[in-house]
Amino acid sequence: VGSVMLIIAFSFLTMMLVVQQNVILRAANTSDSLTAPEQETMGLIMSTVSGVQLGMDFTFDIFIGIGMILFALAMNSHPRFGKIVGISGVLASSYLLISNMWSFPLTPHEAGVVDPAAIALTWWLFAIIKSEMAKKKEKQHSNDLPLD
């Protein structure tokens, strides 16, 4: 279930990035030829459209937060990860979810809280490094075993 949540999350991230970049590029291509009143109208349109892509970002954060919690819970009892990775993942993803829901419709940054994305990314890096270290240790241990 955690994997499915993360797949959905990254689908929303992809959609958000495509919309965001398309809007920015189109606005940049038209803004030079606009009069002052048209530029003011364009600013209002951009503000409204920005809300749409922020809604997509919020949806991404919800799905990645739920996926992270489920992954962290599974890691909690896994010998390669253990309780430190599992509990820290639950805490990081809980903060991601709570800070986004509390600050919505603003971003957590706009609401003045510590960026949950940085905390979540740090946890993912920690989990990946821990996994790689465990794989190297397992490989080294299997190489040390005598052959029959």
CB 42 within 8 A of CB 30: yes
User: What's the pLDDT tens digit per position in 25-63?
Assistant: 877 777 677 788 888 888 888 888 888 888 888 999 999
Give pTM, 2 decimals.
0.77
CB 38 within 8 A of CB 8: no
What pLDDT is attached to residue 31?
Answer: 67
What's the rounded Cα separation, in Å, for the pair 45 and 26?
12
What's the rounded Cα separation, in Å, for the pair 142 and 134?
12
- Listed as ranges, residues in the chain with pLDDT below 70 are 31, 142-148
* Amino acid at residue number 78: H
What's the rounded Cα separation, in Å, for the pair 53 and 21?
10
What pLDDT is attached to residue 78?
Answer: 82
What's the rounded Cα separation, in Å, for the pair 15 and 146?
52
Kind and range of the H or E element at 36?
A: helix 36-76
